[in-house]
Amino acid sequence: MRKQAYFIVTIILSSLMLCLSCYKQPDSIGFLSDDIYLRGADTLYLPIGGKGATNYAWTDYSSQPCTFSIEDVTDVSGARSEQFFKEFTYRTWKKPYDFLTDKTEEQVLSKLQDTLLTPLIINPINGQLIYTEVTRNLSNPGDIFHVSVRVTNTAGTKVFPEYATIKLTSTSRPFTVNEVINGISVVKSGANNFVLYDQINDSRPDFVARRNNIYADNGKEFVRIHKLFDEPTVGIKVIFKLVDAKGSLFNPAEYATYATGTYSYIDHSINRQNTPEGMILEFPTTPWPADVNLRSYLKGPTATDFKSFNIDKLYQDFLAGKVPSLIAPDNWPANNWADADAWFVRIRSIITFYESGTWEVSCKIPYTAIDGNFN
């Protein structure tokens, strides 16, 4: 039995040595799969002027690290789309912005850097496709493109011609509105009483419809936002205007933030000026404001009489259910605020601009006429 076992072991060892003598060491070490793909939806809907990123690549257990690069972007006919390979200036932060200390253009610019980017880039480590606001330079919404990607690791390199499909859309907006509130406050005994409080925000069931009116700039809402000029090409200039029911401009020299210590996106700007055309704010990059969650509290002039405010008409519409207010009917005084100290306009808003240029934000205040003529 011992001789038989010895004989079997000898045969096994001989076979192993024979196999090893026939084995050839591969020229490269590692594994690069043929089945690498971009996880997520089959098609990336890329909004012109938009910013975003895809999911990461599935490497199918390929040896790490894998390095990704865009090989080509072609249209449906297979022709290279050069618009995806042109470089444009993209401004990014290199240090945190502090609106309490960074008050001048030089101070803000010292924390920014300009980089040349193509509209579509790829994360070389994980294969994620990334696009920034420079996609505003792309054209032909509705067109479809195919992205081929080169992947390299220790096992070699492979090109994946159908890594991603892109369809350009025109759904990106140059600005977004999350809230605008139009208020008229009557001041009595030091208390603010908002007799008008018209809200365009997600607390109201008509928010989407009213916001779409603002986006369409169809004049149906009290606020209008539209672009005046393409300059500046990098950065932004915003002109705020408060106008009466006839479109006359309330005195911009008296515009102010709502209260001391109430910081808003108005404070997140530089070169603020109260000019005859409105309150002008500037900032050397977009999106603006830098903190997109901030509200603005823009306060108009304070009046100590009611000559330019038709509070009687507002009250009649209020009783008819036409006026949103923070005052309950039982709390409306019989003297119709005749003993009030003053009244003023306040606009509260959350607006974010993503596209450079000069923009105008105009808010119409109902039941007011600066000249006192309500006819």
Residue ranges covered by each domain of the chain:
37-169, 175-364
| Grouped pLDDT means (10 residues each) for the chain, 375 residues | 38 39 52 96 91 95 97 97 95 91 93 95 97 92 96 97 95 91 95 96 96 96 96 94 97 82 79 94 92 83 94 96 94 93 94 94 97 91
Using a cut of 0.85, tell me whether the model's pTM lies above it. no
For residue 29, what pLDDT is reported?
Answer: 83
Burial environment of residue 325 by CB neighbours within 10 A (0 to 12, 13 to 18, 19 or more): buried
Residues 198, 224: Cα–Cα separation, whole Å: 15
For residue 8, what pLDDT is reported?
Answer: 35
The strand pairing partners of 346, in sequence order, are 183, 299
For residue 262, what pLDDT is reported?
Answer: 64
HEC states along the chain?
CHHHHHHHHHHHHHHHHHHHHHCCCCCCCCCCCCCCEECCCCEEEEECCCCEECCCEECCCCCCCCEEEEEEEEECCCCECHHHCCCEEEEEECCCCCCCCCCCHHHHHCCEEEEEECCEEECCCCCCEEECHHHHHCCCCCCEEEEEEEEEECCEEEEEEEEEEEEEECCCCCEEEEEEEEEEEEEECCEEEEEEEEEEECCCCCHHHHHHHHHHCCCCCCEEEEEEECCCCCCEEEEEEEECCCCCECCHHHCEECCCCCCCCCCCCEEEEEECCEEEEEECCCCECCCCCCCEEEEEEEECCCCCECHHHHHHHHHCCCCCCCCCHHHCCCCCCCCCCEEEEEEEEEEEECCCEEEEEEEECCCECCCCCCC
For residue 292, what pLDDT is reported?
Answer: 76
For residue 295, what pLDDT is reported?
Answer: 81
Of the CATH numbers 2.60.40.2710, 3.40.190.10, 3.20.20.80, 3.40.140.10, which one belongs to the domain with range 37-169? 2.60.40.2710
For residue 258, what pLDDT is reported?
Answer: 65
For residue 99, what pLDDT is reported?
Answer: 87
